[in-house]
Structures are given as C-alpha cells and as structure tokens.
Amino acid sequence: MALIFYARVSSKGQNLARQLARAKEVEADKVFTDKFSGKTTDRPGLHELLDYVREGDTVEVVSLDRLSRNYKDIQHLVQKLKDKGVKLVVDDLPQTHTGNALVDQFMLDMMINLMGFVAQNEREKIRERQRQGIEQAKKRGAYKGRPTKFSEDSSDREGRLVFEGIKKDYQAGNYKSKAGLARKYGLSRQQLYRIIKRIDQNN
C-alpha cells in the first residue's frame, strides 16, 4: 500500500514548491505533477497516476481543485479511484475517523460533492460577471477583446516564449504528433491548434 501525492499548478510560470513540500512532509512514496490547466483532465501526470495506483493505495492532494476545476470531472475522478479501491485524502477537507470505514467514506463523498458544487457555482458566477462587464464595455465602445497570451506580440513573456518555441518546432517539423507537441509545452490540444492557426495565418 503506497501513499501517492498529486500536485498541480495551472501554468509553467507557477510554482509547485508548496505542494511538493507537503508531499515531503507526509513522506509520499510517489509524486506525480502537472503544470496544466484544471479545466481538463487530459494531463500527463494525472494519466500516469491513474495507471500507477493499485488497490489499497492512498492518493493525497492539498485541495480538491488540484484534481480538477470541473464538478463533473471531480466526480468522475473520485469514482475512478473508488473503483480501483484507492483512498483519496484532501488536505483542506476535514477528515472523519469514526472507526467505521463506510461512514468515513460517506462523509468524504458528501463533502467532496458539496465542495465541488460550490467551487463550480462560484466560477459560473465569476464568468457571468465577466460577461456582463464585457457587455457594458461594448456599449461604451471600450471593449478591445481578450488579449492573446500565446502570440509573437503577447504582453506575457512566458506566452511569447511558448509561441516562439512552438513556431520553431512546428515549422521545422520537430515533433512526432501534435498531441506530443502540446504536452511538451504544457498546453491543451485546443490551445495548440489555435497557436498553429495563428502561425499559418501569419505566413
């Protein structure tokens, strides 16, 4: 029975140090990491973790949103771990130790479902406020559109470097597959396709 720790941040510019310190503190037997958006479960580290875990293992994360930022994805991942006979520990959720494994699991499931729902509901409210703000800006003629992070003239330094790296590899044919190229730069395939479309249009 192994303790497996999963750590994730959303981009290459963010730091995993705090989560890795926690993994060291709990003396995790194995650590899987991703620098990838939580909007998708198509992450190499997460795939490796799910292939690695065995019945009786425990998976630990510092918070539920490290697994995913999508309520349905959280439910799916939690169920997948349960089907494998793997216990999930979420540091920022209270742990119950009643002595009855079924009761403890029921309480954890209930908290996970509640926290996942609350988190997604809050994100939807934020998106709605953003949408309303954009509508108001359009009416005032002040809306200039969403800035492109991954472009040759992006104000984001990391975005420019990623764009230039992909452009170089893409134009030189230095990749086996587009999925592999996306993984190399920590992007989703949809993000990569948008970047490639921009490169093709500029040529």
Q: Is 45 within 8 Å of 23 (Cβ atoms)?
A: no
Q: Which residues pair with 8 in a beta bridge?
A: 34
3-state secondary structure the chain: CCEEEEEEECCCCCCCHHHHHHHHHCCCCEEEEEECCCCCCCCHHHHHHHHHCCCCCEEEECCHHHCCCCHHHHHHHHHHHHHCCCEEEECCCCCCCCCCHHHHHHHHHHHHHHHHHHHHHHHHHHHHHHHHHHHHHHHHCCCCCCCCCCCCCCCCHHHHHHHHHHHHHHHHCCCCCHHHHHHHCCCCHHHHHHHHHHHHHHC
Q: Which residues are catalytic?
A: 10
Length of the chain: 203
